[in-house]
Amino acid sequence: MTAAYVYDAVRTPFGRFGKSLAGVRPDDLAGSTLKALLERHPDLDPARIDDVILGDANQAGEDNRDVGRFAVLLAGLPVSVPGSTTNRLCGSGVDAAIQASRAIETGDASIIVAGGVESMTRAPYVMLKPDAAFPPRNSELVSTHIGWRFTNPKLPAEQTISNGQSAELLAQQYSISREEQDAFALRSHQLAAAAWSGGVFANEIVPVPGVDLAIDEGIRADTTLEALGALKPAFAADGSVTAGNSSPINDGSSMVLIAAEGALSSEPLARITGRGVYANEPQYFGIAPVEAANRALARAGRTWADVDFVELNEAFASQSLACAQLWPELDPAKLNENGGALAIGHPLGASGGRIIGRAAHELARRGSGVAVIAICIGVGQGLAMVLER
């Protein structure tokens, strides 16, 4: 088996819903990020890339016709470079990297770009086709930017609640207070703001052509516990989950260059040593990363005692704190040391590439270590990966 390595990773700054990236098509967003990644490796002949695999959770609008292939074309790569698109909702970017690493380890490929893209702003309104021609009634338009649509009535009602309602269930089940959630959200904003001001993200960020966006648009460096505490519950009248302790709705793109040892002239950032996937009840989707990470560590031959830090995608503060409870061996200080999605943002298909890239660059900065990346997925799934240097 050939080892799979992360050689590089980049992402755009993440834009807020309807803000700076609202005018950029998702295929253009992916294409420019892919181009920027390869410009960092002038010695790499793009024709050597065996595949481009991108995650994209929506695929209902301008990203509907295999956005991975269109990213290849828009980036100006040779037409001989293939491109595919994968969808595991929020975990799509991690899924793309898992597929890439498996292909390299089995010898099916030696160089693959994985990653993802999402424009939640530009997600279209859609409607079902009528069951008869010229129906004498109104038709309903449904927004595709997030969440359930055209839910199958055969599914049990408890499995099709909103993600926010699921976050409320986790807060109740694991006795996570509103104060704890707001404190975790504040930590995320403070750490992310400090990381930006300290240049931590500098080597991971590429600009979006024609857009004046230098940093993640959702970070609130000046927020306070008082400001977060003043927000009303968003999903239940007597609940604790608010817009402030939930990840925002975002646009963005990420790319990860994965290759076999020696396939590129540059030094790799980290090796992919373990992967894990797990599923549980859809209404408790937020804790699925717990077992996914446990499985990834076991396959890497590691335990939690070996782990130096964790990049967990913060869908909700309650979800993140529940996962932390269920990893009792993990020092909470090692979780998202530079902030997470509550501040940075969560453009669904792009988030996996962001956390993989953050972990790989951090391992390279430290010179050695073991990192876990993990992400929860709506409808009750979780993905995880172990990176080592």
Residues annotated catalytic, as ranges: 90, 346, 376
* Measured CA distances, 47 to 40, 43, 115, 118, 311 (Å): 16, 12, 19, 26, 32
Distance of CA 34 to the CA centre of its chain: 17
Of 40, 32, 51, 55, which Cα lies nearest the Cα of 346? 55
DSSP, collapsed to helix, strand or coil, labels residue 58 as coil
CA 293/CA 281 separation, integer angstroms: 17
Provide the token pair at 132.
């008869």
Sign for the CA dihedral angle at 103, 105, 108, 114 comes to positive
DSSP, collapsed to helix, strand or coil, labels residue 180 as helix
Q: Which residues lie closer than 8 Å to 123 by C-beta, 6 or more apart?
A: 58, 60, 61, 143, 144, 145, 146
CA 47/CA 201 separation, integer angstroms: 29
Q: Which residues pair with 124 in a beta bridge?
A: none
Phi (first) and psi of residue 216, to 5 degrees? -60, 130
